[in-house]
Amino acid sequence: MISAILAFYTALLVILFFYSMHSFILIYYYYKLRNRRHRKPKKLSEYPRVTVQLPIYNEKYVVHRLIKSVTELDYPQSKLEIQVLDDSSDDTSDIAARLIDEYRKRRFDICHIRRGSRDGYKAGALQYGLASAKGEYIAIFDADFVPSPDFLKELLPEFTSPKVAGVQSRWGHLNHDDSLLTRAQAIGLDNHFAMEQRLRYRAGFFINFNGTCGIWRKDAITDAGGWHTDTLAEDLDLSYRVQLRGWKIKFRDDFAVLGELPATAESFKIQQNRWAKGTIQVARKLLPRVLRARLAKVAKYEAFVHLTCHINFLAMLGLALFSPIIVYFKVEHIVADGYFIFASFFTIGALGYPYLYFLSQRELYPDYRRRIPFIMGVIAYSMGLSVSNSNAVIEGWLNRKNVFRRTPKSGGESRGYRVESKSVLPFVEILLGVYIFVALIYVIVNLQLILIPFLLFYSFGFLNLGLMSLKDKIYTLEPREVLCSRESS
């Protein structure tokens, strides 16, 4: 039994080490490519027709802000079409209709598109709108983002080459200073954009459209087969299909669009679960094609890590379950010290991503030093997500029924409504947090000081997310979360 536990624990360490070593590869590319700056193309000499798509679902608190920001884009009104793709089941539709009537009176080409069903969710809405879109280019904004007036004039010149399928901008944050949770989210997203997206793009690897704050060439979407509805990550799915067809996606790390971060633990987990499940669905769907494609081996490696990285959460959950047992083996001298010397080698991998987080903050903010302490929050919340995200990864890989849950948004206001939820995951997180906390006390008593940070991060992550989730289920943004399901094809 002991041998089996050690073998399983070692396998978990190997998995985490494999993915964590990717951080050192990114660090290598950071120093190799850091002097390679993006060269802005010349300003627009003519203005192509653009369709702006705004997919919304029950966004009554932010729909006004969204539509207002899009109508303020600095672009010839005669060349701009706005599609409000409204699948709402609450009074968002009435609010949107009134706003659209107002802007029509001001001669905006803005239409309110209601499909009558939510078939295909966001991907279904985008594809439905695409069929009637007048624009040569399609800009997309989710409800939680506020584009600046110069968005189109900044990004459209990137389409100088006919092989450019799309351009993605970086995300900024409207509410990053609200709490430890939002500060940690901001750092995690900054790392994704300022490090992962930028370095993959500069190195010539596949990158992805992030679902919002970008522009597509309409012909590229059509050439790749349009928006597919068989995953919860329709943006990642289309990005890879487009690039497998030979198109290129550009990334503008120097231009950011501000967005609202999930303000509660429950909304944060809903968002992260959707991303985890959708990403593994895309891996299941497209990874074989990527590995068979005529690409450099390092590009295939990058794509493999990109599409399967959420497997990390399964390994982190396993580590949380077995680490107290391994600690007991060490303290009671049940296992020879040689195993622990061997296992300590894998801790090297734990240094890479914190350093990337540091680099991202240094790249983006003059006051980066005050943000550095919150890197610990990123680590702790990543560990705490391992319960809910592991469940999402398993469902995604098994191609289980898609259940779409929107990320609640408040528009910066706090409201208290009751919701009903039968999920037991917060209780599991709390139990795991207590379990790890007991192990933490055990290592402190036995002076195993090197293990204290590891167990402390785990305990805090589980307990914080679990307790906040229970609170969120009583006081949240919406009176009831509407769930819609569709069998994956």
Q: Which residues are catalytic?
A: 87, 235
Strands 145-146 and 109-113: unpaired
**CA–CA dist 32, 468 (Å, integer):** 42
**CA–CA dist 248, 204 (Å, integer):** 9
69 closest CA partner among 250, 233, 260: 260
Q: How far is CA 448 from CA 19, 26, 347, in A?
A: 27, 32, 16
Non-local (6+) Cβ contacts of 1 within 8 A are: none
Q: Which amino acid, 430?
A: I
Q: Find the helix packing angle between 311-331 and 375-384, rounded to 10°.
A: 90
Tokens of 1: 């039994």
SS3 126: helix
Tokens of 82: 């706005």
250 closest CA partner among 299, 220, 215, 282: 215
- DSSP string for residues in 278-309: HHHHHHHHHHHHHHHSS--HHHHHHHHHHHHT
- What is the sign of the dihedral through the CA atoms of 473, 478, 480 and 483? negative
Q: Which amino acid, 284?
A: R
396 closest CA partner among 284, 295, 483, 262: 284
Tokens of 148: 């600046």
**CA–CA dist 287, 297 (Å, integer):** 14
Q: Find the helix packing angle between 386-397 and 311-331, rounded to 10°.
A: 130
Radius of gyration of the chain, Cα coordinates, nearest whole angstrom: 23
Q: Please check whether residue 10 is in contact with residue 39, taking contact to mean a CB–CB distance below 8 angstroms.
A: no
Q: Please check whether residue 439 is in contact with residue 232, taking contact to mean a CB–CB distance below 8 angstroms.
A: no
Measured in whole angstroms, the distance separating CA 356 from the mean position of its chain's CA atoms is 17
